[in-house]
Amino acid sequence: MHLDLSGKTALVTGSTQGIGEAIATGLARAGARVAVNGRKPDAVEEAVARIRSAAPDADLVAAPADVSTAEGAEALASTLPEVDVLVNNVGIFGAQPVLEISDDEWRRYFEVNVLAAVRLTRTFLPGMRDRGWGRVQYIASDSAVVIPAEMVHYGMSKTALLAVSRGFAKEAKASGVTVNCVLAGPTHTGGVEDFVYQLVDRSLPWDEAQREFMRLHRPQSLLGRLIEPEEIANLCTYLASPLASATTGAAVRVDGGYVDSIVP
């Protein structure tokens, strides 16, 4: 299977680490010109260097901006007027008892995890439709379906992305543009390591802490381990390619069998 994105420009938000960086690397290896995004210019430049090391022929653009704000999204669009592949990956998460989540925290999770993606889709989808080709993806989570008791605000935001994705897919109907959600399962990133240690004994070595976390807090996983970011990126790269032309309006799972369902 040859995934060829030559001649396409991709934007991956929140791509200075973890899943976002892995997706940016996958798209670059497939031949896309990739805009690497994060809030801090230094972090963006460091990510560009790592991606170029992993994909020496990569065509990369440093695109620092805080896309969780309208001003940041506008600034990004002014420097990157056309995008063929938009991967809405930026997001925040953390554990907090649901009765202690303030109004401001509810709003912050919606602003960063949902509204940032809505703004960018609104910005770039019309151009994709006019050109007759495009890919929009939202990186959601198993938490969209299996709401975790320790982070309901996060689950809420990912559930909202399912609705947003399906709605924009209808807007892009019969245009050559596909819009999909990717439901990622528990994934091994630096941020998740911190999260795991919020819930298990901090004195445990990482391998033991990971196993304890999966046993106690994610027992329904059929994989029995955290997913590696590259495993998420493989699916996203395929969905971005011409080979995925008939997949749209979908919630595609790469969750290690975490969601207990035979229908996506």
Known catalytic residues are 154
Closest by CA to 51, choosing from 69, 32, 70, 75, is 32
> How many angstroms from the chain centroid is the CA of residue 115?
14
Q: Is the dihedral of CA 122, 123, 125, 130 positive or negative?
A: positive
Q: Is the dihedral of CA 72, 11, 77, 163 positive or negative?
A: negative
Task: Tell me if residue 138 falls in helix, strand or coil.
Answer: strand
Half-sphere CA count of 97, side-chain side, radius 13 A: 2
177, containing H or E segment: strand 177-184
> How many angstroms from the chain centroid is the CA of residue 73?
17
| Angle subtended at Cα 204 by Cα 198 and Cα 207, rounded to the nearest 5 degrees | 95
Q: Listing from the earlier edge strand, what are the strands of the sheet with 134-141?
A: 59-62, 33-36, 9-12, 85-88, 134-141, 177-184, 251-254
Helices and strands: H and E segment counts in the chain: 9, 7
Closest by CA to 146, choosing from 162, 166, 168, is 162
